[in-house]
């Protein structure tokens, strides 16, 4: 028997970084499964390639930086999975590997690794690919073309030439053209509910973002439900914006972040027709996070005292 | 958070085994250490004063056994450094000094008499903060609310729970005394809702008094922290001490001690503590004589039986705010709420992933990670430990904030 001394508290919440990452990966399983169901084997191979290459790059960087292996905290696998879900199912696999290389090596580790990256690695990887290979990144395969991908440009509901008329119901259950992870709102919501129950997802960012999008669509005279369900809005709201490292720290900062993102996304959707606009908006706002943190701290210091009766100080 | 209370909350309090040697540290309260008034070789009796308050904030200390003073020397102490203490050898005869009982109704007793009794009995806050009660009962300004803390929010601990069930009368005498001295407009007793039996007993008893309300609170750490309790019950926000908002907070165990001091003239020589933890086979609530070394209470940890056990943390207090002990010689003092034996786990801190959980969970609206890095609001932190508990990166936030506090104090003293 040995007696140890340490500072209080003496017990810890069993949920640590790796279990959080694992839970987020679990929450993405329904989305990935539906993606594979609708887009077939190509989607599966994109997902597997993406996760494996992300892990490989992580090991490589760890070796170069003389670090302990960090693949077991799950963050690299999560980045790989998230990147795969934002890609079109018929993309060449070497591009997937390249995108992961950009995500892990440049965006994550050159900024200092998990906890220090300014931009969301998965989304930055996706943007890198869509800037470098715009054609491959916008050749969407027709969904439910199981095992037989046909290169028909059946664009996402927001693309300009889209003559596609999709019902809300189809958007909700899935089966619309787009990237692997954004077909089914239902699967994303399922994952989001799981994360809420586990206390990992905070309602503030998705809440303020989605309500802003809804209200602005209503004001702009467009279909608000379409704006919520289509174009990866939900995947972005629940899994991309809420990435801990690249979102503001304080409660007030998070509310502000969601609101500003809503305004940004809707102005892109109203005034330009850029595909993948959401990803650009999120990465742009990631750059604003240090500023929002400062604002959030000031707000936290001055707004909370108003809620409770302030004691006159002598 | 699992509160582990079912282990001991429903068991009746037992008498703790009496040790052969007791240690009475001269600092069992906030303020200046008491001055010993016995010499080595003196014979003392149960309830005899052995050290006297010095300075403006201090408290008397009484012997809890009869026997021989063997030494006055530095001895192990719960804060982690040795403290000047009086060692007394127990003769197991328990001769008592005469104690004056009190039969007059409390309302007709002069305030000064009651205060003097409390001061003589050496009563301090038994919830762990150890502020001498007679200081608290002489507030610098009039009091509007008296808050009685029966929340006992720390996991594992159930000593206050048992005091409320078993010593209800003494608790209410204590509350009556405090009411008589402070003359508050309302008295609120806050009890966490898992202690159903305590709630029923206290509610029934409170019917006899006007202005005394028993309020049930959700079971949520840190409900029993002064600032959180006052905010929940009176909607007033305080920064440091409840007196800022014309509130005085007393623990239920303190009230019971006041009740006993007034009724039986008994000084503070024993208290109820919880003995629990994942590494103990059996858990109890014990009534312990102050000065009992913890090794007497933990036969499982004696050298002949301890080899089966691995790495341990022996805590005084709860798992969230308690202090890990370096020796089993350390005695029970007035502020000890429990002794816990837990497994030792080493947590490897990682980089902050900016999840913001520390900010979401802070009960007093500090931003712990900001306070730990930049010192903003560090002085408002009450070190409840929730931020460190919830941090997925295992950053020792409370420890860092403590350092910031010290840094800031040094800067104000020596600019």
Cβ proximity of B53 and B28 under 8 Å: no
Measure in Å the smallest separation between the Cα of B213 and chain A Cα atoms.
22
**What is the rounded CA–CA span in Å between residue B65 and residue B56?**
28
Nearest CB neighbour to B326, from listed A5, A12, A115: A5
**What confidence tier does B235 reach under pLDDT thresholds 50, 70, 90?**
confident
Peptide bond into B222 cis (omega under 30): yes
Please determine, for residue A134, whether its predicted confidence score (pLDDT) is greater than 80: yes
pLDDT of res. B237: 80
pLDDT of res. A222: 85
pLDDT of res. A304: 72
On whether any CB of chain A is under 8 Å from the CB of B406, the answer is no
Identify any residues that bridge with A250 across adjacent strands, giving them in sequence order.
Answer: none
Least confident window among A24-28, A151-155, A181-185, B361-365: A151-155
Record the pTM: 0.89
Cβ proximity of A141 and A41 under 8 Å: no
Residues from chain B that touch A305, judged by Cβ atoms under 8 A, are 237
Please determine, for residue A308, whether its predicted confidence score (pLDDT) is greater than 60: no
Measure in Å the smallest separation between the Cα of B165 and chain A Cα atoms.
29
Q: What is the ipTM of this complex?
A: 0.86
**What is the rounded CA–CA span in Å between residue A231 and residue A176?**
10
**What confidence tier does A273 reach under pLDDT thresholds 50, 70, 90?**
confident
Could you tell me what percent of chain A has a pLDDT over 90? Answer: 56
Mean pLDDT for A186-209 is 93
Please indicate whether, in this complex, the C-beta atoms of A13 and B309 are within 8 angstroms of each other. no
Mean pLDDT for A232-254 is 92
Identify any residues that bridge with B335 across adjacent strands, giving them in sequence order.
Answer: none
- Which pLDDT tens digit goes with each residue over B85-108? 999 999 999 999 988 888 788 888
Burial of B320: CB neighbours in 10 Å, binned 0-12, 13-18, 19+? buried
Q: Nearest Cα to B66, choosing from B50, B87, B89, B85?
A: B89
**Cβ-proximal residues to B256 (8 Å cutoff; 6+ apart), any chain:** B163, B167, B170, B171, B174
**What is the rounded CA–CA span in Å between residue B113 and residue B99?**
15
**Cβ-proximal residues to A12 (8 Å cutoff; 6+ apart), any chain:** B345, B347, B388, B389, B391, B394
**What is the rounded CA–CA span in Å between residue B148 and residue B173?**
13
- Which pLDDT tens digit goes with each residue over B383-401? 999 999 999 999 999 999 9
Q: How far is CA B114 from CA B55, B131, B322, in A?
A: 21, 18, 32
Residues from chain B that touch A11, judged by Cβ atoms under 8 A, are 155, 319-320, 342, 389
Measure in Å the smallest separation between the Cα of A231 and chain B Cα atoms.
27
pLDDT of res. A163: 44
Please indicate whether, in this complex, the C-beta atoms of B354 and A247 are within 8 angstroms of each other. yes
Cβ proximity of B217 and B237 under 8 Å: no
Neighbours of B205 (CB within 10 A): 18
Please determine, for residue B255, whether its predicted confidence score (pLDDT) is greater than 70: yes
**Cβ-proximal residues to B79 (8 Å cutoff; 6+ apart), any chain:** B323
On whether any CB of chain A is under 8 Å from the CB of B200, the answer is no
Please determine, for residue A190, whether its predicted confidence score (pLDDT) is greater than 70: yes
Least confident window among A185-199, B99-113, B161-175, B355-369: B99-113
pLDDT of res. B415: 52
Cβ proximity of B290 and B354 under 8 Å: no
Helix-helix angle B196-206:B168-182, to 10 degrees: 50
Residues from chain B that touch A73, judged by Cβ atoms under 8 A, are 350
**What confidence tier does A225 reach under pLDDT thresholds 50, 70, 90?**
confident
Please determine, for residue A160, whether its predicted confidence score (pLDDT) is greater than 60: no
Residues from chain A that touch B356, judged by Cβ atoms under 8 A, are 202, 244, 248-251, 254
- Which pLDDT tens digit goes with each residue over B347-384? 989 989 999 999 989 988 899 999 999 999 898 899 99
Please indicate whether, in this complex, the C-beta atoms of B231 and A308 are within 8 angstroms of each other. yes
Q: Nearest Cα to B181, choosing from B119, B264, B252?
A: B119
pLDDT of res. B192: 92
Please indicate whether, in this complex, the C-beta atoms of B237 and A311 are within 8 angstroms of each other. yes
Do strands B61-62 and B49-52 pair parallel, antiparallel, or not at all (unpaired)?
antiparallel
Measure in Å the smallest separation between the Cα of B383 and chain A Cα atoms.
9
- Which pLDDT tens digit goes with each residue over A64-115? 999 888 888 899 999 999 999 999 888 999 999 999 999 999 999 999 888 8
Nearest CB neighbour to A249, from listed B309, B326, B359: B359
**Cβ-proximal residues to B383 (8 Å cutoff; 6+ apart), any chain:** A8, B321, B398, B401, B402
| Edge-to-edge strands, sheet with B186-192 | B212-217, B186-192, B145-150, B247-251
**Cα radius of gyration rounded to whole Å, chain B:** 21
Residue B276 sits at φ, ψ, to 5 deg, of -155, -170
Q: Which residue has the higher pLDDT, A177 or A135?
A: A135
**What confidence tier does A154 reach under pLDDT thresholds 50, 70, 90?**
very low
Nearest CB neighbour to B312, from listed A4, A17, A313: A4
Residue in B321, B338, B365, B377 to test binding to A, most A beta-carbons within 10 Å: B365
pLDDT of res. A157: 52
Q: What are the contacts of A76-80 at 24+ separation with CB within 8 A?
A: A76/A104, A77/A21, A77/A25, A77/A51, A78/A21, A78/A24, A78/A25, A78/A28, A79/A54, A79/A103, A79/A104, A79/A108, A79/A121, A79/A122, A79/A125, A80/A50, A80/A51, A80/A52, A80/A53, A80/A54, A80/A55, A80/A122
Nearest CB neighbour to A8, from listed B1, B307, B321: B321
pLDDT of res. A171: 74
Mean confidence (pLDDT) of chain B: 91
**What is the rounded CA–CA span in Å between residue B80 and residue B324?**
8
Residues from chain A that touch B392, judged by Cβ atoms under 8 A, are 13, 15-17, 19-20
Token readout for B280 is 């103990």
Nearest CB neighbour to A244, from listed B355, B388, B390: B355
Mean pLDDT for B325-350 is 92
Residues from chain B that touch A3, judged by Cβ atoms under 8 A, are 312-314, 324-328
Could you tell me what percent of chain B has a pLDDT over 90? Answer: 70
Q: How is B250-310 classified by DSSP, letter by letter?
A: EEHHHHHHHHHHHHH---S-EEEEEEE-TT-S--EEEEEETT-BHHHH-GGGSTTTGGG--
Mean pLDDT for B38-52 is 94
pLDDT of res. A296: 92
Please indicate whether, in this complex, the C-beta atoms of A251 and B376 are within 8 angstroms of each other. no
Mean pLDDT for A157-166 is 50
Please indicate whether, in this complex, the C-beta atoms of A1 and B312 are within 8 angstroms of each other. yes
Neighbours of B30 (CB within 10 A): 16
- Side-chain-facing half-sphere of B141: CA atoms under 13 Å: 8
pLDDT of res. A151: 35
């Amino acid at each position: 028997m040995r007696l140890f001394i340490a500072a209080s508290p003496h017990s810890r919440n069993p949920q640590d970084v790796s279990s959080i990452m694992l839970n987020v990966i679990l929450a993405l399983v329904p989305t990935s499964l539906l993606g594979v169901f609708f887009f077939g084997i190509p989607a599966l191979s994109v997902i597997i390639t993406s996760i494996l290459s992300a892990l490989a790059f992580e090991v490589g960087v760890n070796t170069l930086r003389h670090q302990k292996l960090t693949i077991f905290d799950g963050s690299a696998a999560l980045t790989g999975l998230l990147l795969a879900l934002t890609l079109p199912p018929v993309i060449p696999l070497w591009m997937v590997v390249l995108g992961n290389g950009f995500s892990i090596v440049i965006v994550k580790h050159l900024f200092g690794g998990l906890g220090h990256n300014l931009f969301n690695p998965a989304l930055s990887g996706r943007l890198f690919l869509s800037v470098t290979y715009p054609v491959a990144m916008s050749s969407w395969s027709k969904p439910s073309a199981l095992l037989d991908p046909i290169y028909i440009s059946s664009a996402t509901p927001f693309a300009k030439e889209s003559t596609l008329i999709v019902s809300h119901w189809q958007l909700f259950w899935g089966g619309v053209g787009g990237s692997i992870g954004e077909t089914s709102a239902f699967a994303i919501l399922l994952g989001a509910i799981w994360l809420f129950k586990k206390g990992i997802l905070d309602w503030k960012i998705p809440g303020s973002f989605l309500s802003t999008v809804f209200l602005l669509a209503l004001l702009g005279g467009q279909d608000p439900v379409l704006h919520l369900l289509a174009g990866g809005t939900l995947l972005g709201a629940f899994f991309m914006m809420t990435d801990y490292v690249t979102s503001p720290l304080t409660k007030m900062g998070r509310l502000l972040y969601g609101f500003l993102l809503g305004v940004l996304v809707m102005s892109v959707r109203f005034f330009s027709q850029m595909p993948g606009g959401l990803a650009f908006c999120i990465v742009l706002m990631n750059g604003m996070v240090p500023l929002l943190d400062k604002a959030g701290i000031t707000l936290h210091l001055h707004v909370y005292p108003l809620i409770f009766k302030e004691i006159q100080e002598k | 958070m699992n509160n582990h209370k079912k282990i001991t909350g429903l068991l009746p309090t037992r008498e703790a085994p009496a040790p052969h040697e007791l240690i009475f540290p001269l600092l069992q309260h906030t303020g200046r250490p008491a001055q010993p008034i016995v010499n080595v070789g003196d014979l003392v009796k149960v309830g005899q004063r052995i050290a006297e308050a010095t300075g403006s904030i201090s408290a008397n200390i009484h012997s809890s056994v009869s026997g021989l003073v063997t030494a006055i020397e530095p001895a192990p102490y719960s804060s982690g450094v040795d403290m000047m203490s009086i060692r007394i050898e127990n003769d197991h005869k328990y001769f008592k000094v005469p104690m004056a009982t009190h039969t007059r109704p409390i309302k007709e007793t002069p305030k000064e008499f009651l205060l003097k009794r409390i001061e003589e009995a050496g009563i301090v806050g038994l919830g762990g903060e150890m502020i001498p009660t007679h200081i608290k009962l002489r507030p610098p300004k009039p009091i509007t609310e008296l808050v009685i803390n029966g929340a006992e929010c720390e996991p594992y601990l159930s000593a206050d729970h048992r005091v409320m069930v078993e010593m209800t009368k003494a608790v209410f005498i204590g509350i009556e005394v405090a009411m008589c001295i402070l003359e508050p407009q309302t008295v609120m007793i806050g009890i966490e809702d898992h202690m159903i039996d305590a709630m029923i007993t206290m509610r029934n008893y409170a019917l006899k008094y006007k202005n005394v309300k028993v309020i049930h609170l959700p079971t949520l750490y840190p409900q029993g922290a002064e600032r959180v309790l006052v905010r929940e019950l009176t909607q007033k926000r305080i920064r440091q001490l409840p007196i800022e908002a014309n509130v005085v907070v007393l623990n239920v165990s303190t009230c019971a001690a006041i009740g006993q001091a007034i009724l039986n003239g008994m000084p503070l020589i024993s208290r109820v503590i919880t003995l629990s933890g994942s590494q103990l086979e059996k858990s109890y609530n014990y009534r312990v004589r102050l000065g009992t070394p913890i090794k007497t209470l933990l036969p499982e940890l004696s050298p002949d039986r301890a080899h089966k056990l691995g790495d341990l943390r022996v805590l005084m207090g709860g798992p969230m705010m308690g202090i890990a002990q370096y020796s089993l010689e350390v005695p029970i003092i007035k502020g000890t709420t429990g002794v816990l034996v837990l497994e030792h786990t080493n947590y490897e801190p990682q980089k902050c992933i900016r999840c913001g959980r520390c900010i979401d969970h802070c009960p007093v609206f500090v931003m712990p990670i900001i306070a730990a890095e930049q010192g903003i609001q560090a002085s408002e932190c009450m070190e409840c430990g929730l931020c460190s508990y919830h941090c997925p990166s295992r950053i020792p936030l409370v420890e860092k904030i403590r350092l910031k506090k010290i840094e800031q104090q040094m800067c104000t003293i020596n600019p």
